[in-house]
Structure 1
Amino acid sequence: MRLRNKPWAKDKLAEHSNYVIDNPTEQKGKWHEIFGNDHPIHIEVGTGKGKFITGMAKANPEINYIGIELQESVIVGALDRILEDPLPNIRLLNENADDLNEIFQEGEVDRVYLNFSDPWPKNRHEKRRLTYKSYLNLYETILVKNGEIHFKTDNQGLFEYSLRSFSEYGLLLKFVSLDLHQSDFEGNIMTEYEEKFASRGNRIYRSEVKYLNG
């Protein structure tokens, strides 16, 4: 799907620096100061238009959430959601996931969410998948000991690949669902893509994995 360009998005993001943090590398090791508390920090890599992360922030006020999205024309939608219903425990970063270890200190993040990531189906693009081993290593550097990744997708191929990648990396599979919406899982917050795919009858896959580095 072609991304609709929004040339005004950059300026709007800059106007709301209280929510969209500029120069986040300067906040490395100081994210608790940004939120003004010592609550756990959960990040979503590829936050899209923010339906998931704003829903999570509203449901869990005792947790701080940071949504990370590279595309300005997409993350501005997440900003709009926050402006419509302001929440103190959410921030946004218009950044590349490759730079996570420049943004967060070792052990500064408690959980990583990966929702409906680009599957990059061609073998030559394997290293771009957010569940590829180099990304798993990157997440490990910023997560607390025994930190977790929670992963959702409608793409069976990506899900099967990710389970293998998690296992080969040595992560503990805590939870696996091959049909989330037909399971007894409680508290699911849907993303925009999840709503769309589920309405078409697509199966939603979900897993929770844990690093064994404590």
Structure 2
Amino acid sequence: MAVALLSDSERGAPVYLAICNLFVCLIYLFHLSALNHPDMPAVGSRFPLLTTINGNSWDAGQYSRRDNCAGLLLVFLRGSFCADSRAMLARLPELLPELRKRGIELLLFSTEPPTLWPAHLRERLSVNMFQLSAGAAANTPFIARGGAPLLSQHTAALRPSQWLLDREGFVLWRHLPANYRTPGDAALMRGQLFRLEE
């Protein structure tokens, strides 16, 4: 379409301006969706303490030992405003039977209160969802300041990621997507569950 418009010399400057604006918009959207993760816990290292919205520390190893589970699958969701995060949340129920069979507990994390997420999705999952403090230093690597759209209630958003931890809280696998539009899916996580048996 752009080639056809540019080849029509009778249209003049407004067409060139419209095409230029279109490309600027597309480039902006591409870079806006790019995701830059800082130094994150490596495979084989202990998962760090996180701080919830009420100021409590959340420790993965302590949590899994208390609930006597074989491991933890942590899913960090960008926010309820993100269509891709909501789509991933809708696909997670298909993973629950496999997780229960292996004794793995699924935990969701967000900077938003659970009530902002669609009720039908929360009811289908019925798993623990934690709201992390956006201002806590412990959460800094996981939080993108200004990562939420301007009109949303919260300006900070979690960088989407998934983590498989053993019962002691050590990282067995992690997925750090490079794009907000591809946060990961249930099939990807299901394919990594074997790591708990190695």
TM-score bucket (shorter structure)? 0.3 to 0.5
Tell me the TM-score normalized by structure 1. Answer: 0.33
Asked which structure has the greater RCO (Cα within 8 Å, sep 6+), the reply is: 2
Give the greater-gyration-radius structure (CA): 2
Tell me the TM-score normalized by structure 2. Answer: 0.35
